[in-house]
Every structure is written in structure tokens, then in C-alpha cells.
Amino acid sequence: MMAPTTVPPRILSQIMDAIASIRYGSVQIMIQDARIVQIEKAEKIRPTLSADLTPGGLSDTPGHTDRTTGGSPAPSGP
């Protein structure tokens, strides 16, 4: 097993910047031959509004979906 080496401050700063720049997600550090060779970040975006993407309706109201498309009301009774 190789002896642990110190990580240069510049690399630590890049890792910390990646962590600080996302609210939800992950930071992945790729290592090759006991050296950091790549830093990846994946950010998740959680929308605050819902969108109804079905035909006939787009809604940006949280928890409310308007599916009315107009036209004549359905006949009631026999």
C-alpha cells in the first residue's frame, strides 16, 4: 500500500468550490495511480412548481392541475 500523500491546496480549493456551488447533487473525485485526476459534479434541480405536460393543459400552480379544455358540458341525466 502506498503512503498517503498530501493534496495540494489548489485541488482542495477546487473540490470545496464544487461542493459549495450545488444545493442538491454529488461531487465525484476520480483517482488514478493515487492521484486526483478529475473532479465531477452533478447537480439536481428540484422545481418548485409542477407542470402538467399532458395535451390540453399546462399548469404552473403547485398541486393544482386544470385539465379543462372547453367545449360543451356533458349531458346529465338519462
pLDDT at 50: 75
Cα end-to-end distance, the chain, whole Å: 84
Band of the pLDDT at 76, cuts 50, 70, 90?
low
pLDDT at 30: 97
Instruction: Report the distance separating Cα 3 and Cα 35, nearest Å.
Output: 12
Q: Where are the domains of the chain?
A: 9-42
User: Is 70 exceeded by the pLDDT of residue 16?
Assistant: yes
